[in-house]
Structure 1
Amino acid sequence: YSVVWFVQGNGFHVIDFNEYQIRKGRMFLVNPNQINNWSYADNCEGYTLMFAKSLASQLGIEFLKPYIDVEKQDTSLLQLVFENLIRDCKLDNDDLQHKIMTSIQYFYSLIADKVHDEAFTSKNTAIFRQFKELILTNDFKIQSMDKYADTLHISTAVLNIICQNLSGISAKQLLLDLKLTEAKRLLLYSRLNINEISFQLGFEDSSYFARIFKKKALLSPSLFQKKYRKQPGKSCKHPL
């Protein structure tokens, strides 16, 4: 997990091929397995915090929004938390791990209301996280929504409600979005051909995969790869 907070500056941050503007006070929240890169001005200043998935699970941390805008009255307290983390990381004593964990937990408590909307509950967030993990770790096969719901011990209707509340889209659309984001990553950064990518992501019919991909990306997989794949000696454009 990573947190990047800009206290000043401007530019753009791309998360899972979606572009967001960098501005003063904006804090970006990136979950594991998300693709992200930056383009920002030289005058940017701020803080970066990274921590392991195991710690996030232990503390119940899950980012459901790509960014939040920190209000002016909250800036001083959050800066103090980050400065304390920087100071603690330089220490070498038996309490270091406990101090850092406590500081991260306190930091998350300060932003939790902004990260989650009114539909948030810890149980629903846990189910939502488990559903995404099932999608991302179950390569080579796409299950039916009934199968995913059974694995999570809930009904398909409840799974859809949770996904709608926490992501704004249905469970099926979330599955396709996550799979197609991974497809973009593989098209740009792997040596797999399109048929191999289709199979790895669980699409039994590569032509169906190509149609779904084109509908989402507005380009066929081959044209997307040709347009955005980094060539030797050339910079890679951001596929937005």
Structure 2
Amino acid sequence: MHGSFPRLDIGPLSEYREDHIMIARFSDYVHEHQSLVFPHRHSFYHLVLFTEGAGRHTIDFHHFQASPYQVYFMIPGQVHTWDFNDQMEGYVVNFSDSFFKSFLLQPEYLDSFSFLDQDSSNNVLMLAEGIRGQICGLFEELLSQNARATAWRDDMVRVLLIQIFLIIEQSDSVDRKKNAEKGKNATVRNFIRLIDKNYDRLRLPGQYAEMLNVTPNHLNALCKEHVGMQAGELIRNRIVLEAKRLLINLDLTVSEIAYKLNFNDNSYFTKFFRKETGMTPEDFRKSPAL
């Protein structure tokens, strides 16, 4: 499915054609890849800290005004585009899903950070004043370490990135309430992770409850308590998100999108989409979604 939408891999974006990590000054990155204004998805984690300039960027149909000391995080699969008014400066880091997994005992450790989230409204933060100098210093050290051809280079980069994540997570940059909600229940986190992997073929809360070894009623109660919506709504929201991502790809017909999302026919997909969003797929495609 993901191959039908423009998807970027780290290798072609990296000076050294590396597939696991890329670190650069943002102005150099934009100059080298000026074509990255079209909507696209990444196969990797994407982290940007702005220090100068202004403009707009969009992650999964949430629009943000870029400004100095804003930092945004993207996880693999999210759709992104940008439009900058001025010369932008800052730092950009791309790293693969596997970059930390061989380093950390907990494979899902990154999921514990509130800003590495499927909900793109949580992906963009304004750095608290008290940590701006410290965070910029760590990004400078990332650039320095990345330029060294040493056996310990990647481990130093990993340590610096984790330090950046921890400082931001513990700072006033993060909404404490959202952070507490995200880390509160492992079953809900695992449910959301399973939805992301299976939304195109598993549509019923009971199917996920069985995978999680809980009853459907218990799963539903946990979702209402910790994220404020029913389990079925979380599943439907993920299907709608992917439908919107595919609809901005004008090379695909609505019928093709319905097929990719495993709807029996185009009319059923249209009915589902209109019920969830208030508009038809065709109307959404015509709207200024990005």
> Superposed, which structure 2 residues align to 1:150-161 within 5 Å?
150-157=210-217, 159-160=219-220
Q: Provide Cα deviations, 1:41-60, integer angstroms capped at 9, x if missing partner.
A: 22332111211112355461
Gaps of 5+ in 1: 229-237
Q: TM-score, normalised by structure 2?
A: 0.68
Write the distance in 2 (CA, Å) between the matches of 1:132 and 1:198. 22
Q: Against the structure 1 CA distance between its residues 162 and 9, is the aligned structure 2 distance closer, same or farther, given a 3 Å change threshold?
A: farther
Residue 52 of structure 2 corresponds to which residue in structure 1? 8
Q: Provide Cα deviations, 1:72-126, integer angstroms capped at 9, x if missing partner.
A: 11001101111111111100011111111111111111122327522343762x8
- From 40, 47, 70, the counterpart of 1:26: 70
SS in structure 2 at match of 1:103: helix
Q: Against the structure 1 CA distance between its residues 82 and 158, is the aligned structure 2 distance closer, same or farther, given a 3 Å change threshold?
A: farther
Q: How many residues align?
A: 228
Deviates further, 195-204 or 162-171: 162-171
- From 120, 126, 130, the counterpart of 1:69: 126
Q: Against the structure 1 CA distance between its residues 122 and 134, is the aligned structure 2 distance closer, same or farther, given a 3 Å change threshold?
A: same
Write the distance in 1 (CA, Å) between the matches of 2:94 and 2:225. 27
Matched, 1:172 2:172: no
> Superposed, which structure 2 residues align to 1:1-240 within 5 Å?
1-57=45-101, 58=104, 60-62=109-111, 63-64=116-117, 65-113=122-170, 114=174, 117-121=179-183, 124=186, 127-128=188-189, 130-138=190-198, 140-157=200-217, 159-160=219-220, 163=223, 168-189=228-249, 191-204=251-264, 206-225=266-285, 227=286, 238-240=288-290
Deviates further, 38-47 or 24-33: 38-47
Write the distance in 1 (CA, Å) between the matches of 2:280 and 2:163. 46
8 A contact 1:160–1:170 mirrored in 2: yes
Write the distance in 2 (CA, Å) between the matches of 1:206 and 1:165. 35
Q: Provide Cα deviations, 1:187-229, integer angstroms capped at 9, x if missing partner.
A: 332744323322322333543321232344443113333x26x
Q: Against the structure 1 CA distance between its residues 92 and 132, is the aligned structure 2 distance closer, same or farther, given a 3 Å change threshold?
A: same
Write the distance in 2 (CA, Å) between the matches of 1:117 and 1:56. 21
- The structure whose residues are more often helix, as a share, is 1
Write the distance in 2 (CA, Å) between the matches of 1:163 and 1:53. 26
Cα RMSD over matched residues?
Answer: 2.8
Gaps of 5+ in 2: 1-44
Q: TM-score, normalised by structure 1?
A: 0.80
**Which one-letter code corresponds to 1:152 in the other structure?**
L
Shift of 1:145: 0.5
SS in structure 2 at match of 1:50: strand
**Which one-letter code corresponds to 1:194 in the other structure?**
V
8 A contact 1:88–1:100 mirrored in 2: yes
Write the distance in 1 (CA, Å) between the matches of 2:144 and 2:275. 49
Q: Provide Cα deviations, 1:2-31, integer angstroms capped at 9, x if missing partner.
A: 111112332222111121222222211111
Write the distance in 2 (CA, Å) between the matches of 1:162 and 1:24. 38
8 A contact 1:140–1:199 mirrored in 2: no
Residue 235 of structure 1 corresponds to which residue in structure 2? none
Shift of 1:144: 1.0
8 A contact 1:145–1:172 mirrored in 2: yes
**Which one-letter code corresponds to 2:235 in the other structure?**
L
